[in-house]
Structures are given as C-alpha cells and as structure tokens.
Structure 1
Amino acid sequence: MPGFKLNDIPSPIVLQGNRRIAYRDPAVLYHDGIFRLYYTLVATEPDGRVYLYTATSESRDLIHWSAPRRLTPKDANLNYSSPGNIVRFRDRWIMCLQTYPRPNGEKYANETARIYTMESADLIHWSEPELLLLKGNEVAPEQMGRMIDPYLIESREEPGKWWCFYKQNGVSMSFSYDLKQWTYYGHANAGENVCVVPVGNRYVMLHSPENGIGIMTSADLKSWTPENTLLTLGQQDWEWARGRITAGFLLDCLDVEGIGKYLLFFHGTGPQGEDVIFDTHACIGIAWSEDLVEWHWPQANRTTRSNALNLHKKTWLKQ
C-alpha cells in the first residue's frame, strides 16, 4: 500500500461500541490487499435480550472499515462468536470459532460452549459451523466440557500437523492432521483468547489474564514459558478501555509494503461503576510494533515499552 502510514490512522479505536453494540475478540487476515477483520458482535435488542454473532468488516487502509456483516444466525442457544483465526488448509479457508450459549440471559456461557469451524472458498460465503471433537472421537460431545476461544496453527517442526488451542483448564491443546480427527495433548497455565505466532526461532503466545495481554514463548508448541510482561498499552489514558484490555491478536505484517510491523488488535471495555459490562460499549483497538518490545498507537504516536521481553529479544527474536 504505497504512501500509507500507520500514523495516518486517526484513533486507536478501530470499531467503537455503544449502548446497544459491543465489538470484541478480533481476528484479522490480510489477503489480496484487504484487511479482513472478524470479531464478536454483541447486540442488545430493544427488549434487553442479548445476542452474540460472528461478524466481519474490511479495509484497505486500516482507516476506513466496511459496515459489520453478520456471518452467523441469531440464536441465544448458540451465540457463535470469538473467531480465533482464519487459516488456509488445502484449497479452503478455515475459521475456528466458539459457541457461547446464554439462553436464559446468563452473564457467561453455560457448560455447553464448544469449538467449531466454518469453511469458505472466497472469504465471503461460509459453510455451516462444524463441531470439533477436540478430546477425540471416543469422548462424546456432551462430555468434552466447556471450551471457548479457539486458535489454529500448523507446526513448523512437523508440517501437516495442526494444533488447536482453546480455553479449558487454562489453555488446552489438541492436534490433528486433517482438522477432523483430533487428539487431546494437555494444557498449560494461561489466560483466555490465546493467539500463537511464529517469531524468529520461537512461537509467541498472547493470552489474556484478568487485565492486559500476557506473553508466553515456546520452541515446539508444547512447552510454554511465561515472560514477565503485561501489555496494557494506553489503557491509563483510554476511558473506553479503562475496565479491561484483552483478546490480543497479533498479525505479522513485516513483509507488507507500507507497514513492515506487527499489528496488534485487541478489545477494550470501559468501566461501568464498579463492574465492567461486557455486552455494551466494547471497542476494538489497534497498536503496532517492529520488535514486540516497543509499542505504538495512534494519537501523538504514544508508545510503551516492555523491558521484560527485551531481555529475551536476541534469543527468541533471532531470525
């Protein structure tokens, strides 16, 4: 994108929520010159009922975004949401996502929350969601336990081997060679909304503790080491994100002309009294970094630095 500058972005807010709409759980794909942003759209009906959808918006410049387009149906028993990422598998695009059932107006999803995938040939039309048996075919779906916030990644060490990370007992991990038959591997101590990206000779995991974005690293996608860092970016100055910053999604745009950085998408929720209300006002924000140590965002090019990650920069960022 010749002539494009990140500092042209006027605000750290990409999509701004209001009293009827919240934007959460971003996942981004850059393909054919288009940034495709997928997210949870939380809509409050006039009667007060709340429904969750997986929705999408597109942009060519990270400034102008298309209106939300809902990809999943209105159904409080399902509430398809939290798209983890979109990957290319064979000749199809695969999106992983969750259900977040709240049939009786619960604040959080009940125990029937599960992980699904949808397929697409064109990133426009998507198939019906398909349940993933992440504990293996021998475990019945009703026995798998509550699981949310999936993320898919192919192993660099074993090409053709795919891992699914999801929130259950910290972060749980299952692997597959066809995205259909799964084997449960184990779990690690981490927060929710996991995102895993190859960086140098390591993998970097972003996850969400109670507030902020935590970082873990691994050489093999199996054993994870916590890094002593917590990204909160400009939260102290952002009323729209004062309650919580979470759900970090890292997009590698180092080789994208006009960017040359990692883009970080996340969502922020503002304070509502002593509690954070997740169903309204949540916004999706953006920041960026060249090295995952120093972070920038719009508005006077504000920055913050993670010294803890800098201690490891020469090893896990080695190209």
Structure 2
Amino acid sequence: MVKLAAIPSPVLFRGDGRTAYRDPAVLYDRGTFYLYFTLSEVEADGKVYMYTAFAKSKDLIQWTAPKKITVKDQNLDYSSPGNVIRYQNEWVLCLQTYPRPNYTADQMPRYGSKDSRVFIMRSKNLEDWSQPELLQVKGPSVPEAEMGRMIDPYLLEDKDEPGKYWCFYKQNGVSRSYSRDLKKWTFAGTAESGENVCVLTQNNEYLLFNSPPNGISIKTSRDLKTWHDRGTLITLGQEKWDWAQGRLSAGTVLDLTQVAGINKYLLFFHGSGPLTEKEGDFDKNASLGVAWSTDLCTWDWPGK
C-alpha cells in the first residue's frame, strides 16, 4: 500500500563521498515500483565505474538492495536508463553507454566520450536482462562510428499511430527517431531542449520534461515538431536541500493519476550537492528523490 504522506524523506537513495545515484527511470507494475538508475562507485584504488542498477519497493519507503544489471567496464559504463516499455510480451529498457577509459577520482568530473551511444535491453521479469543492443537511430546505413555522441534515451509509443515507437535522445538538443520493430530506425529531426527527457501524452498533447542547467522544465507539442514552454522551472525544495544544492536534474514522471490509492503524478529526480557537478559532485554525493502532483504545476514532497 502506497501512502505518500508516510514517506519520511524526499531522498530515496542517498549518495556519499564514494557513491552517486543518478538518472532514475521508474515502472509501476502490479503493485511494485521498479526503480532503475545510474550507480556510480569510486573504488579504493580511485577508479570510477558506472552501472545501471535497480531496486524494488511496494511503498516507496522500504527498498531492496540495489542490484547491478550491467557489466563493470569503463569502456562502456552503461548508465542513464530512460524508461521501460512493454513490447511483444517482453519488457524493454533503454540506456546509454558513457565511455570513460582510465577514469579516476582525481579527474572528477569527466564526461562520457564521443563514443557514447544508446541501447536497449530486454527482459521477461524486469530483473534479468539481455545483453544490450545498439539502437541505430540514424538509420541502418549510418555506421556506428558516424552516429555521433548521443545519450539519455527515452522510448514512447506514438499517440496517433499504435505500433510506431519513438526514441528521444540528447544530440543537438533532443533528437528523435522512429521505428515499428525497435530494430530499423528512421531519423526524424531535432528540437531545442535540455537533457534527460521524459515524454508523456496527455489530452492529445505530448509533454516533454527536460533538464536545463538546473531544475526541470516542461514543453508541450501536438506533433513532436513545434514545442511550447509550459509553466515555470521546477526546483522543488532545492533551496533548503544541501543534498541538491549543486544541481536538481533528470526528472522522470510516472502518471499514476488513475491508480487507486495514489492518484498522483510521481516525479523522480536526482540532486547533487553540496558542490556543483563541475566542482566534483557528479560521480559522488548524488541522491535520488521523489515528489508528486495532481496537476504538474503544484508539487509536494515528504516534509514540505
């Protein structure tokens, strides 16, 4: 049973000087929350690794221990899960590579190389996942080496054409490609946007949540081509949260407005701090948080 008022803190997973929790992606299935995220760890020898990991909860209070679902390899650093969709009797999770070979804590922060690409993994049970598959979102004729740096994927079925799926990803703002089988993709253009996009449909509109340098903003569109800003920048309780003083970012929204007992939009995000990411709180001191709303305008959170 989910009782939002019973959640003791807006922090679901708290980072520290050797650990960062970032980039949440959340699925609610049959009474269980599946929270996927980037897990960064600084090891004793100073090497820094990124993984995609997940944890489960029935109530957003008690969580299972994080379980890594990707390999330990600085040439890959699978991370930034975007979301999970249901496709042909299986689950599909999108994520990125973020290569940082020979990366150590004294270089912090160091960002993913030009070889960063987007992938999907498949699962029957949301816990055991296949090997990642590269998404050739620029089309089958464009070699991987020529696709350009791309991160932060998000998958969405078209609101007007069932069976047509969009992949959004960070490249020249937000780029988008479409596919009808998640294998052959067609590039369809770009739009101005921040990173870590999450796209919902509401009242025959697309709502695009994205992260500028700080906070979370919303854009709307009917056709994925022309976008309009909606509302004000979302920063929640950042001014009072030392754990998010550096940056509040990577918001993803789960529409549970029709789920009895919840009836809210849930916003998951990460906060880094007390330092900014450029000052070093990127692969450490980043935490996952939660807030909620009935209208996507006014937000509440534990302890507000």
TM-score by length of 1: 0.91
Give 1:221's match in structure 2, choosing from 224, 246, 249. 224
Give 1:12's match in structure 2, choosing from 10, 15, 32. 10
> For residues 153-172 of structure 1, what are the structure 2 equivalents within 5 Å?
153-172=156-175
Pairing 1:296–2:294 present = no
Q: Matches of 2:102 and 2:193 in 1, distance apart?
A: 29
Give 1:151's match in structure 2, choosing from 154, 167, 174. 154
Shift of 1:201: 2.5
Contact 1:55/1:69 (<8 A) preserved: yes
Amino acid aligned to 1:116: F
> For residues 1-319 of structure 1, what are the structure 2 equivalents within 5 Å?
1=1, 4-105=2-103, 107-272=110-275, 275-299=279-303, 302=304
Point out where structure 1 has 5 or more consecutive residues left out of the alignment.
303-319
Shift of 1:220: 2.4
Amino acid aligned to 1:252: D
Shift of 1:275: 2.2
Q: Matches of 1:283 and 1:190 in 2, distance apart?
A: 23
Render the CA deviation track for 1:266-294: whole Å, top value 9, x for unaligned: 00000337825201010000000000011
- Secondary structure of the residue aligned to 1:271 is coil
Amino acid aligned to 1:206: F
Shift of 1:124: 1.5
Q: Matches of 1:13 and 1:74 in 2, distance apart?
A: 26
Q: Matches of 1:246 and 1:101 in 2, distance apart?
A: 21
Amino acid aligned to 2:34: R
Shift of 1:39: 0.2
Shift of 1:224: 1.8
Q: Matches of 2:302 and 2:275 in 1, distance apart?
A: 25
Q: Matches of 1:156 and 1:256 in 2, distance apart?
A: 21
Closer/same/farther in 2, CA of residues 181 and 49 from structure 1, 3 Å limit: same
Shift of 1:32: 1.4
Contact 1:269/1:276 (<8 A) preserved: no
Point out where structure 2 has 5 or more consecutive residues left out of the alignment.
none
- Secondary structure of the residue aligned to 2:299 is strand
- Computed over aligned residues only, the root mean square deviation of the Cα atoms, in angstroms, reads 1.2
Q: Which one is further off, 196-205 or 240-249?
A: 196-205
Contact 2:216/2:235 (<8 A) preserved: yes
Give the total of aligned pairs.
Answer: 298
Amino acid aligned to 2:196: N
Contact 2:177/2:188 (<8 A) preserved: yes
Q: Matches of 2:168 and 2:267 in 1, distance apart?
A: 19
TM-score by length of 2: 0.96
| Overall identity of the aligned pairs, in % | 56
Amino acid aligned to 1:277: D
Q: Which one is further off, 47-56 or 194-203?
A: 194-203
